Chains A and B, each alone.
Chain A
């Protein structure tokens, strides 16, 4: 088996012809669809297209912008494992905004589009064949931080009005190193009928897995030629559903592998994926003399493992600029460490490569860990290359037990791995960005390759402590100061926002944030204190004045003790079908003192709140003492995601927080 075959691995995600989803091309994994224009001149709508066109629009699709009537993909695999993919698709436009649906073909330098033909059957049954002038090709040059050789050919066929049906057929020679097809069986429009065929050489095995869909048995339509069919797949529409997981985590898909990539069983398949990545990146991290010298300089005199580690990780986080270079297999394979180090830029694979390289110099083992930065996309029960990000698993020696290293998981091989994302330039080693917590990743560690559950960190790994001292005037004017300390992922996110803003923008952002709670506020001063070390908390200090913060109503003065900080999330009363994404675990604490104007006493305050719903606790009190109004609250979230069945409890929590945040104290003039 040659090298190319040895590197062979799965295909990518099909873009179901929906233009909007092309934004996902920014991911490390690019996607393929078939492609080239009407090179065969005018042709009538083929029989399969006419048959598809005759499909009645089902009742369940009536409210959709469009409906896919028919979508058939046939993968014909040659003796070297390389696929030729043919796709036939029929899409009916049902609503004016459905005109954006259509067909497109994506291809890269290692691929060849044999043909791409598109027809329209208008609502009045007139037929149109898309000419060359009805196609546009677009490269991946629109993303400022990416350089990609991938292109997309977009069909803009005539007569695409409500009631029209678009018929597309294409054939593409796929990448030689891919032996996986990811079949997206759910779209944002319904699909009436869809099928996938894999036509394998004799004796070639295959293996498939399903995500968010009950496995369908294939029919062997010819020797070693398998066909899966699915009917009446509903659209996945997440509009107006608050706090939902990402679309790609909830949508149904199937992955099928063949040849060397087809293992037997979930664990074996993950191992196969990891081994493929291990081989693909094998020589990439090899340290150059310059890297060796740099790493040795960094770790010189480091008193412990954590210090050694953090000096290396911070060096990469701070000094390597994020820039994606993807040329063909470069969508999966990193550049060489020496080049990355010299040029000081690279993407997630590159940053991980340089990190592993430097760790090697320090005698620490690091591994590639393929993940998706959208929780829930990587499914431990559905092994595949579905993912858009590369991070690092760092092997922790048995004798190291440092409490600062929180993001540790134990693999099936018994080893402890610290999960770290070097692409995130602000979240320090030891913890993990909140968007990756609770996800899964594919560890590339040779024979020890496996799927790994990324940790969910304890609330105290992500804290925001806010204190405020205010003075209220009899005219309602509030003056005072706020001091906040943010650590962990929360602090990292703030550091990241500060990196990409100047003082003017920071002031505007802070003023906008504070004004959300205190309309008309004027910031008298503000300061962000960022210690150079990423594991140190970031501080925010500001002074404010808000005219008419409290409102006079006859002899009363109404003041809201919760001056700043909104923790409540909007939720609705609708029945819940999908999981609830909580964003992150964390611990938020507010403590505000308001000195009352002379002559006023507290007449009434809202009741204290004391709520424990298991996955979160919320406590709040408003007290009055010695002419001071004191507000104190404590909010702890212990999970990153809830089952849909917990919607009622979540609703209660959010309603409680919102009511507490609006709570107003009534002051009365004596």
Chain B
């Protein structure tokens, strides 16, 4: 069991006494616990956490953990390995004790000294790891252990209670005893010298709880925060799920400058906007740059496009490599502090480029706002969790004609008016005409993310297929390949694309890229051509059978196999795939039956259509799969699964060609 650092530490100016600690005592297992072979409520569980206790006491300067775990299946034996990370020179790990209790009640104590190893060291900072193995674990054992993390008297902590994990929890108890003056009536009065990123005093202890229904936490009369839970189910594991942190039961403690939710974001945003204003100042250099890029007669949108293109043309070090201070110094460059520096150096990281674009827009007299957004691949913005650092990236909002247009200049190769899917449907804090506001960027429509797959192939009488393929991409797929091209050379990109092609054609076919066009032009569709050969079907004496779909369905089949759903479905972005395949049939062969056809509607969410036509010895099969949704709630999963089941069945249709002159039937 890998224990992540349980809290974040800071240093206070005060000095405190070190009173006697109260340690958890090992418990006598009950007969039911000893004899238990499975958890009736969670029969799949490989282990059950019988009891989990976490305490953090800043007044006594320690954190402790006590665990009792029942091993039900062999895969859970790994829980006998316990690792605790700590910071060298700051924390110590003390009072490690443990034992294994077999199902017959035999007790084997931990008597091997824990190992203390370096995990990572950079400069003077060293993270170390204490690891111990509970002995003689077997299926049926109860693992029982405890340890303490000690920290200096002048420290405070920010516990993170990760309540829900891989295994069900029968009973759990959490306790945090902060310095009392961070709570209640004394909160807001003193920060004990603790300051935030902007120098503001952090006077209040705050917490973000995501707890089972009916549970809440608040300080008790002893100014401790305590939580007792029972019967916490394991965290679901499902494909195409949103970031799991959004679903997990947990409590995060942190310190804030004593403010309401609205006030916190207003304050933080004001700090941020102050920095943005300083960085994105419309200086003379910026104005000169704008003047060289746009014409006075340009429409607002044209100006925005031209400026966007100029920023996209700069080196984006997020996709290459950020220069170290030594390099900047060696090259006579100063560290970037203003958008004009980025412009002058023709190079910058994603955020710098986004803010440069903001400055250029404003320099052109346009109305534009910055927005800090969460990376939707990493998390979901939670306005009640008062931590600015949950916002990862910066996008720019252009307001023209009364409409907001979200732009993503930090993403190299991202065309104007497209945002990377990680920044679409993403929550965050934006500037607006008057002040700031929480906002969610729009999801991109399915029409913005299109792949057109075309094939013109010749079929021989033995079922062999040869031909040419063409892929036309817009939106997210085009962006993916263009950004990939920034990170690898042409040969590797070709191999990567060939790997992708394997997933696009049916088994028995081989396809190889012959070339890209518009790879470096994000404002045009990306085209890729390929050649294909192989035997996608089978030939018999008088017939050739071919898959009705030359291309594979791009969608994940896991929904077909998964009958129920607990978590929302997150497909990242909506999209459509349009296929067209022209078969030149071999002489003497014709279509024995009608070509494949299907129509699978799911009004408002998705559609699948397949049609085929013949013209002499040519057969054309056209298919469209459009998926308009990005995120679905579990209640809608039944419809989703039904749709994909029908699509899979339709996709399995076959073409039956027969030798025209051959007699039919046996």
Contact = CB atoms under 8 A, between A and B. Distances in A.
Interface of A: 63, 65, 94-97, 99, 122, 126, 128, 131-142, 144-145, 147-149, 151, 158-161, 239-240, 319, 321, 323, 325, 342-345, 499-504, 508, 511-512, 515, 519-522, 547-549, 551, 553-556, 558, 572-573, 601-607, 658-659, 662-664, 666, 668
B540 A662 contact: no
A96 B486 contact: yes
B535 A553 contact: no
Contact of B645 (A126, A500, A520): A520
Given A136-B120, A521-B560, A606-B540, 7 more contacts: A131-B326, A138-B121, A161-B320, A240-B498, A502-B45, A554-B592, A666-B545
B135 interface: yes
Interface string B519-545: 000000000000000010110111101
Contact of B2 (A96, A132, A144): A144
| Residue of A145, A343, A607 contacting most chain B CB atoms (<10 Å) | A343
B665 interface: yes
B190 interface: no
A548 B488 CA distance: 43
B508 A508 contact: no
A152 B652 CA distance: 52
A149 B129 CA distance: 11
B665 A668 contact: yes
B502 to A, nearest CB: 8
A547 B647 CA distance: 12
Shortest beta-carbon contacts, A-B, top 5:
A554-B593, A553-B593, A548-B649, A95-B489, A502-B44
B554 interface: no
Interface residues of B, number: 78
Interface string B479-501: 00000001111011001001000
Nearest to B533: A573
Contact of A160 (B122, B321, B495, B649): B321
Contacts of B656: 553-554, 556, 558, 666
Contact of A604 (B135, B562, B666): B666
Interface of B: 2, 43-46, 73-75, 77-78, 80-81, 83, 108, 112, 115, 117-123, 129, 131, 133, 135-138, 320-321, 323-324, 326-327, 330-331, 486-489, 491-492, 495, 498, 507-508, 510, 535, 537-538, 540-543, 545, 548, 557-558, 560-563, 592-594, 645, 648-649, 651-656, 665-666
B324 A158 contact: yes
A504 B80 contact: no
A470 B651 CA distance: 22
13 contacts: A97-B487, A126-B331, A144-B2, A239-B495, A342-B135, A345-B137, A502-B44, A508-B561, A519-B648, A519-B652, A603-B665, A658-B508, A663-B540
B118 A240 contact: no
A538 B500 CA distance: 36
A137 B535 CA distance: 52
Contacts of B592: 553-554, 556
Contacts of A344: 135-138
Nearest to A126: B330
| Residue of B45, B118, B560, B652 contacting most chain A CB atoms (<10 Å) | B652
B119 A138 contact: yes
B46 A502 contact: yes
B321 A99 contact: yes
B561 A515 contact: yes
A604 B666 CA distance: 7
A551 B120 contact: no
B40 to A, nearest CB: 14
A521 B656 CA distance: 23
Contacts of B594: 553-554
Given A558-B545, A603-B665, A63 B507 contact: no
Contacts of B548: 551
Contacts of A668: 665
B593 A323 contact: no
B598 to A, nearest CB: 10
B543 A604 contact: yes
Nearest to B537: A662
A137 B324 contact: no
A326 to B, nearest CB: 10
A666 B112 CA distance: 69
A664 B120 contact: no
Nearest to B129: A141
B540 A666 contact: yes
Contact of A515 (B112, B557, B593): B557
B561 A512 contact: yes
Nearest to A344: B136
B545 A664 contact: yes
Given A515-B561, A553-B593, A323 B665 contact: no
A655 to B, nearest CB: 8
Contact of B80 (A137, A158, A345, A511): A345
A96 B489 contact: yes
A139 B118 contact: yes
A97 B488 contact: yes
Contacts of B323: 158-159
A320 to B, nearest CB: 10
A63 B78 contact: no
Contact of A128 (B129, B327, B492): B327
B217 to A, nearest CB: 32
B122 A658 contact: no
A666 B120 CA distance: 64
Contacts of B108: 342
A96 B78 CA distance: 39
A553 B649 contact: no
Contact of A504 (B44, B117, B665): B44
A525 to B, nearest CB: 13
B93 to A, nearest CB: 14
A511 B557 CA distance: 11
B118 A151 contact: yes
B593 A65 contact: no
Contact of B118 (A137, A325, A556, A664): A137
Contacts of A549: 652
A387 B370 CA distance: 57
Contact of B81 (A128, A161, A323, A572): A323
Contact of A145 (B78, B489, B542, B652): B78
B119 A139 contact: yes
Nearest to A660: B538
Nearest to B595: A553
B44 A520 contact: no
A568 to B, nearest CB: 8
A532 B103 CA distance: 19
A184 B120 CA distance: 27
A604 B507 CA distance: 23
Contact of B508 (A132, A500, A501, A662): A662
Nearest to A516: B557
B330 A141 contact: no
Given A503-B44, A572-B510, A607-B540, A145 B81 contact: yes
A503 B75 CA distance: 12
| Residue of A511, A553, A604 contacting most chain B CB atoms (<10 Å) | A553
A623 to B, nearest CB: 14
A28 B331 CA distance: 46
A605 B540 contact: yes
Nearest to B45: A502
A500 B74 CA distance: 7
B557 A159 contact: no
B117 A147 contact: yes
Nearest to A127: B330
Contacts of B2: 144
Given A97-B489, A342-B136, A604 B540 contact: yes
A319 B139 CA distance: 9
Contacts of B118: 137, 139, 141, 151
A405 to B, nearest CB: 27
B486 A137 contact: no
A325 B113 CA distance: 13
Contact of A149 (B117, B330, B331, B540): B117
